[in-house]
Chains A and B, each alone.
Chain A
Amino acid sequence: MNLLNHTPILILALPLLAAFLIPIIGKINKKATGIFATLVLGLSLILTIILAVKILSVGPQIYVFGAKSPLLTLPSSLKFPIRIMFQVDAMGIFMGLITALVSFLGAIYSLAFIDKKDGLDSYYSLLLLLTVSMFGMEFTGDLFNFFVFLEIASMASVSLICYRGTDLGEPVEAGFKYMVVSSIAALMVLFAIGIFYGEYDVLNIAAIASVIKYSQLDKIALGILVSVLAMKAGAVPMHMWTPDAYSEAPAPITMILVAASQASLYAIFRVVFSLYNITLNTLAVGWIIIIFGLLSMFIGVTMAIIQKDIKRLMAYHAISQTGYMLLGVGVGLAVLANPTALQRYGITAMEGGIFHIMNHAMYKGLLFLTAGALFFRTGTRDLNKMGGLAHYMKYTTIFFIIGAAAIAGLPPFNGFASKLLIYESVYKFNPLLSIIAMVVSILTLASFVKVFHSAFLGPKLPQFIEVKEVPRSMVFAMAVLSFIIIFFGLFPDLIVKNLVHPAVMSLIEQFKYTSTVLGGM
């Protein structure tokens, strides 16, 4: 048996098994739960890298559950797949790498950050389940299976948002709100899946894509899926759960929640490109996504400027940055049926949008971790109560500057590279969109100057005399993210050529997605 053939399932199976082992380990040694979860997530990261190398050199990987061979997509004498399968292409593994890295660093950061709290075993079990569900959403080739993972992600997220304590009102309120909107989303996704199953008798994405007619029912399913997945990604005006959930969750969980929202964003792209592709009116749906992007960028950043809670402010920026991704990929979708425009600027716009997903996960993760570090030492998220912390937390200050410069799109950091791709390509589609995107970047910089001044600059304040730098594991997680931000910023071509471009092409070339499962049919 070649174990490498089982890599796609091992990436999920290991953390899933570990999630159920952790309560037992917790009975023996509470502290060991964190170390065990970190080791398993480290292993999962290594397997994800191995799978990424294989996919980028050989091509998409299939894993069929319950078949004699994991590569057997079509049972004998059948022309359509009936088993659940993972179908991991360049786009899926691109998202998988983000999930693996963010979860691993989140676990490392948690070692010190969550150390003093009760319920460590529950925390790490839920963290692992959240990671599993994100991998599942990104790897699956089956619509119902996607729904199941979406539900697991929602349940694990709700519990983790409330983790700070049921005796505190705000975390529970945030968790409850997220539970309600997630339930609505889940029911609507299930309804859309029901439409496909009733119409085509299959649940496999590639199989549906090969026969989709774009009937009135398909249009209803499309409208529902785009709307609720945009809500789960935090797009304006359905973003209001985001500041509540992001600000109340523990900092490492907030970082992972950002990646979970991006998994929903990925699902929108999978639906419009791999499922519908040019059967739909690409210009109309492209503009819907572009308008989501514009609203998210502008309203997100202007709401961020007036916030006084550091994590709420960063949450609004997360909404704003999601707008860039929607804008880039939306422009790519709008010109999908126009080969000349697609070649001239559509592919570059999509590269910018997709590259921004990775960049955003890194710098927004870093910024949330710095906010967590400030909370860890000062016990407050209120910017009005902070000041002069650069005197005591030198590493955190440096990491914050790197994250803030990256999110504002300052060279030579990674945010600049992806934003530049978006500006220069989107300009050819509609110059006004590029101008708005640049204005948003300026406002983002202004907002983070405010945070930097209020939290880090100024004289030493008497209430923070005892404050010191955060423990090493927290510094390490922030240092790794800072290194990635700088590396991606200095050598963006390496990432775009080897990871982003294949991911974009795997979305555009729908026939490759369907033929991986259905062969030459």
Chain B
Amino acid sequence: MLGLLETGSGFWSAVVWVILVLVIGSLVYYIRNKGEKSYKKNTEQDKPFISGNPELSKEGSHISASHIYWGFTEALKGYYNPLVKIHTGDINDYSGWIVIITVVILIIVGVRG
């Protein structure tokens, strides 16, 4: 069958997957259309609910890249601090890593054959 990729443990067919997504998507769309039709554009319903607080300006509400995953990086400080530290941007360090890794590989290949 065209599009059937055998992985050694099973198979994958993107074509079947796409057909399934279309069928399920159509079903979801059909069910959604059966819902209540009380939504009106450009009314109060369009405004975000922020617990009664005043809405920020559109421009001010955009979350910039630095704030995304702040919690993730903060929680992994112990991992990130040394990792960022070794990325010095110094060409001497870049060259040093090449030498260190070459020596390590030479030792492994020399000892293990």
Contacts and interface: CB of A to CB of B under 8 A. Distances in A.
A514 to B, nearest CB: 22
Nearest to A308: B65
Nearest to B9: A424
B65 A231 contact: no
Contacts of B50: none
A194 interface: no
Nearest to B12: A420
B83 A184 contact: no
A483 interface: no
Contacts of A308: 65-66
Contacts of B3: 490-493
A390 interface: no
A383 B64 contact: yes
Contacts of B76: 302
Given A453-B68, A490-B18, A459 B4 contact: no
Interface string B35-49: 000000000000000
Contacts of A224: 102, 106
B113 A460 contact: no
A227 B7 contact: no
Given A417-B14, A420-B7, A489-B14, A231 B62 contact: no
Given A284-B112, A302-B79, A417-B12, A496 B5 contact: yes
A496 B12 CA distance: 13
Given A427-B9, A491-B3, 10 more contacts: A219-B109, A222-B109, A227-B105, A240-B94, A308-B65, A411-B14, A416-B12, A424-B9, A490-B14, A490-B15
B52 interface: no
A431 to B, nearest CB: 12
B30 interface: no
Contacts of A238: 94, 97-98, 101
B92 to A, nearest CB: 9
Contacts of B7: 348, 420-421, 424-425
Given A177-B94, A446-B69, A491-B2, A424 B8 contact: yes
A305 B62 CA distance: 19
Contacts of A344: 8
Contact of B5 (A227, A281, A305, A493): A493
A285 interface: yes
B51 interface: no
Interface of A: 176-177, 180-181, 184-185, 188, 216, 219-220, 222-224, 226-228, 230-231, 237-238, 240-241, 244, 280-281, 284-285, 288, 299, 302-303, 305-306, 308, 344-345, 348, 383-384, 386-388, 411-412, 416-417, 420-421, 424-425, 427-428, 446, 450-451, 453-454, 458-462, 489-494, 496
Contacts, number: 164
Contacts of B9: 424-425, 427-428
Contact of B102 (A223, A299, A306, A451): A223
Interface centre among A222, A226, A344, A412 (most CB of B within 10 A): A412
Given A181-B95, A424-B8, A425-B7, A188 B73 contact: no
Nearest to A218: B109
A461 B113 contact: no
A222 B63 CA distance: 49
Contact of A412 (B8, B18, B69): B18
Nearest to B16: A412
B65 to A, nearest CB: 4
Nearest to B80: A306
**Majority SS at the chain A contact face:** helix
Interface string B10-32: 10101101100000000000000
The contact size tier of chain B is 35 or more
Contact of B89 (A185, A244, A281): A244
A68 to B, nearest CB: 42
Nearest to A411: B17
B34 interface: no
Contacts of B64: 383-384, 387, 454
Given A180-B91, A348-B7, A453-B63, A303 B83 contact: yes
Contacts of A492: 3, 5, 12, 14
Interface centre among A176, A181, A223, A459 (most CB of B within 10 A): A223
B75 interface: no
B62 A458 contact: yes
Interface centre among B10, B76, B102 (most CB of A within 10 A): B102
B22 to A, nearest CB: 11
B80 to A, nearest CB: 7
Contacts of A412: 14, 17-18
Interface centre among A227, A299, A308, A388 (most CB of B within 10 A): A227
Contact of A181 (B18, B62, B86, B98): B98
Given A244-B89, A302-B83, A459-B58, A281 B112 contact: yes
Nearest first, the 9 closest Cβ-Cβ pairs linking A and B are A383-B65, A459-B58, A412-B14, A458-B62, A223-B106, A284-B112, A454-B65, A281-B113, A227-B102
A242 to B, nearest CB: 10
B25 to A, nearest CB: 13
B23 to A, nearest CB: 14
A285 B98 CA distance: 17
Nearest to B66: A384
A284 B105 CA distance: 10
Contacts of A216: 110
